[in-house]
Amino acid sequence: MKAFGKKILTGITALFITVSSILASTGTIVAADETHPDDPNDGVVTASERKTDLLSEVHEDAPEISASSYILYDATSGTILLGSDYDVQKEPASMTKVMTVLLALERLDMNETVTITEEIAEAMDEITSDYVKLGLQEGEEISVQDLIYAAVLKSANDASLALGMYMGGTEAGFCEIMNAKASELGCINTHFSSAYGLSDPNNVTTPYDMALILNEAVTNTNYSEIAKTLNYTISATNKYSSERDLANSNRFVNTTTYGYEYYAGGKTGFTNSAGYTLCAAAKKNNRTLVGCVFNAEDPDIRYSDLIRLFEYGYSTFATVEITETEFTPLIEEANMQISDLLSDTNLFVAEQRVVLDQYITTTSARAQLGSTNRIDLSQTVIDTQADEQTLEIPLCKVYSDKTYLIGSLVIEIKKKTGVVEVNPEKVTNLTSLRSIFVTFAVLSGLLLLLVIVLLIFRARIIKRRRDEVTKRANML
Domain 27-51+323-426 has CATH 3.10.129: yes
User: What DSSP assignment string belongs to 153-203?
Assistant: HS--HHHHHHHHHHHHSSHHHHHHHHHHHHHHTT-TT-B---SS--S-TTS
Does the pLDDT at position 428 exceed 60? no
Alpha carbon of residue 148 to chain centroid: 33
* Eight-state DSSP code of residue 207: H
How many angstroms separate the CA atoms of 258 and 277, rounded? Answer: 15
pLDDT of residue 437: 62
Domain ranges of the chain: 1-25+439-476, 27-51+323-426, 67-296
The upper half-sphere exposure of residue 98, i.e. CA atoms within 13 Å in the direction of its Cβ, equals 30
- Provide Rg for the chain, Cα atoms: 37
pLDDT of residue 469: 60
Does the pLDDT at position 37 exceed 80? no
Determine contact, residues 171/197, Cβ cutoff 8 Å.
no
pLDDT of residue 34: 42
Question: Which H or E run includes 358?
Answer: none
How many angstroms separate the CA atoms of 157 and 80, rounded? Answer: 31
List b or e across 351-375, with b for residues whose CB sees 16 or more CB atoms inside 10 angstroms: eeeeeebebbbbbeebbeeebebbb
% pLDDT > 70, the chain: 84
- Structure confidence by residue, pLDDT tens digits, 322-345: 999 999 999 999 999 898 889 888
Does the pLDDT at position 13 exceed 70? no
With cut-offs at 50, 70 and 90, classify the pLDDT of residue 237. Answer: very high
Strands 28-31 and 428-429: parallel
CATH topology match: 27-51+323-426 vs 67-296: no
Average pLDDT across the chain, whole number: 87
pLDDT of residue 420: 52
- Structure confidence by residue, pLDDT tens digits, 80-108: 999 999 999 999 999 999 999 999 999 99
pTM higher than the cut 0.85: no
User: What DSSP assignment string belongs to 16-84?
Assistant: HHHHHGGGSSS-EEEE--TTS-S-TTTTEE-HHHHHHHGGGS--TTPPP--SSEEEEEETTTTEEEEEE
Does the pLDDT at position 300 exceed 70? yes
Top CATH class, 67-296: alpha beta
How many angstroms separate the CA atoms of 120 and 136, rounded? Answer: 10
Does the pLDDT at position 267 exceed 60? yes
Say which range, 31-35, 113-117, 150-154, 303-307, has the weakest mean pLDDT: 31-35
Average pLDDT over residues 216-233: 98
Cα separation values, 241 from 138, 233, 235, Å: 15, 13, 9
